[in-house]
């Protein structure tokens, strides 16, 4: 698996966006809106907060476009803005006792999460690939089908001739292993999987 920005949005589109082309921005919005909605909703659990955060991310993407001097770094640029906006929101909500318990339940260490600036997506992709290759064979196969090929749990179960529960167990164990090895970068992994795979 190799992530290249050209697989998601064309370089020419990014150049137009940097130059203030609103149509190019609309195309970028259309490409990433649903992916961001899925990621953010998986963490904040409310539709209203999700919509507000996605809107905030894209406002920041537009307002800071002049900082993006290299079209090839768009993936890192978007990733950093989405990550930092989400972490800031989760930290602000962490003053609420109920929310602290929720965050603990999904095992996201918000206090340890670092603000990202110009994250190296290529290096992150390589690290993820190395960790995935270290998973047990069946676990690795299930993980790749789910996250790299976008199979549903049911489709994986039918393809491999195993139960949906077994698929879920493989995914849970794979994520536990990745979290143990990535530590504070685990939240970054989740965003990476939602946005780019």
Please tell me the predicted confidence (pLDDT) of residue 96: 62
* Mean pLDDT (the chain, rounded): 80
pLDDT-derived band at 7 (thresholds 50, 70, 90) equals very low
Q: What is the mean pLDDT of residues 101-122?
A: 54
d(CA 8, CA 3): 9
192: its two tokens: 């990476």
Question: What's the pLDDT score for residue 39?
Answer: 81
Tell whether the model's pLDDT for residue 97 goes beyond 70.
no
**pLDDT over 70 percentage in the chain:** 81
**Lowest-confidence segment of 87-91, 117-121, 176-180, 188-192 by average pLDDT:** 117-121
Q: Which residues contact 3 (CB under 8 A, 6 or more apart)?
A: 75, 121, 122, 125, 196, 197
Sign of CA dihedral 197, 179, 187, 167: positive
More confident residue, 135 or 8: 135
Residues 165-197 have pLDDT tens digits of 999 999 989 988 888 887 767 777 777 777 776
Confidence class for position 101, pLDDT limits 50, 70, 90: low
Helix (H/G/I), strand (E/B), else coil: 70: coil
Is pLDDT larger for residue 106 or for residue 141? 141
What are the residues whose beta carbons fall under 8 Å from the beta carbon of 8, sequence distance 6 or more?
31, 75, 196
pLDDT at residue 98, as a whole number: 62
CA angle (177 as vertex; 171, 182 as ends), nearest 5: 120
Look up the pTM and report it. 0.66
CA–CA distance, 96 with 127 (Å, rounded to integer): 34
The predicted model gives 8-28 an average pLDDT of: 89
Q: What H or E segment, with its residue span, contains residue 66?
A: none
Question: How many residues are recorded in the chain?
Answer: 197
Q: What is the band of 74 on the pLDDT scale with cuts at 50, 70, 90?
A: confident
Instruction: Say how far apart CA 41 and CA 44 lie, in whole Å.
Output: 5
């Amino acid at each position: 698996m190799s992530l290249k920005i050209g697989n998601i949005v064309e370089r020419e589109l990014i150049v137009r966006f940097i130059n203030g082309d609103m149509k190019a921005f609309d195309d970028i919005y259309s490409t990433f809106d649903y992916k961001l909605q899925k990621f953010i909703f998986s963490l904040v659990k409310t539709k209203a907060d999700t919509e507000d955060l996605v809107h905030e991310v894209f406002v920041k993407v537009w307002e800071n476009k002049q900082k993006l001097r290299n079209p090839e770094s768009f993936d890192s640029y978007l990733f950093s803005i989405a990550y930092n906006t989400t972490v800031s929101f989760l930290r602000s909500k962490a003053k609420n006792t109920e929310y602290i318990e929720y965050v603990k339940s999904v095992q996201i260490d918000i206090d340890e999460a670092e603000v990202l600036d110009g994250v190296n997506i290529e290096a992150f992709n390589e690290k993820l690939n190395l960790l995935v290759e270290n998973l047990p064979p069946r676990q690795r196969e299930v993980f790749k089908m789910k996250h790299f090929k976008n199979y549903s749990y049911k489709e994986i179960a039918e393809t491999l001739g195993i139960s949906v529960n077994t698929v879920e167990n493989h995914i849970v164990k794979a994520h536990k292993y990745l979290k143990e090895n990535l530590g504070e970068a685990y939240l970054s992994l989740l965003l990476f999987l939602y946005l780019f795979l």
